[in-house]
Amino acid sequence: MKLAKGSKLVVIGDSIADAGRTKEPVSEGLFDPLGRGFVTQVEALLGATYPERRIRVANVGCSGHTVRDLKERWDRDVLAIQPDWLAVLIGINDVWRQFDLPRMKETHVGLREYERTLEELLRRTRPGLSGLVLMTPYFIEPNRRDPMRRRMEAYGAVVKQLAKRHDAVLVDLQAAFDRILRRQHPASLAWDRIHPNQTGHMVITRAFLTALGYKW
């Protein structure tokens, strides 16, 4: 597995990472502060199956955030806490606001701004990291002609390009959910096709750890 002994893994993103975490600005430590989502699942599996590596996991996800919000808090929530490995999942709200708030254009983060901002953050940060994980945004919708699904895939394509550019581990979450959607309806994974239940979070967890070389 790619995470070396003693590594500090920090996960930053939106509500999918946040998942009700309990401490601000950084969630880690006792009494399950990492939330009810994939970050907790990742920490639990690493602790149970790789205890000798003593991997430290911290969660700095914030519900509702876009890449603009990440830029505002990057120094405090990433650089100041000096991760060895950084995992980034952002882009869902950047796209979603274009559909659920179509008239509030000031909330929209266009594709060019998304790429430019994320590129800037990664360029500043990558040299100081042992490893970087980039996760694509996703929409749990099997109809590939759905407008929001198509827009989300365009943002996911940017993440894939950035992963190559910055020597990052890529986690294609849209592909991970697509495999499950061959046999399950979206409603069984997420009521709004965005915020997953525990099964949906485990889909993310499995894709994330598999990309890191986890032995199942």
Instruction: Please give the angle made by the CA atoms of 58, 61 and 62, to the nearest 5 degrees.
Output: 145
CA–CA separation, 38 vs 60, rounded Å?
Answer: 13
Residue 27 catalytic?
Answer: no
Q: What is the three-class DSSP state of 9? A: strand
Question: CB-based contacts of 110: which residues, under 8 Å, 6+ apart?
Answer: none
Residue 42 to residue 101: CA distance in whole angstroms? 33
Choice among 100, 146, 167, 192 that is catalytic:
192
Considering 15, 65, 172, 201, which one is annotated as catalytic? 15
Active site residue 192: yes
* Residue 109 structure tokens: 């983060």
| C-beta of residue 176 within 8 angstroms of C-beta of residue 207 | yes
Measure the CA dihedral 34/37/41/42, to 10°: -80
Given 63, 69, 130, 195, the catalytic residue: 195
Active-site amino acid positions: 15, 192, 195
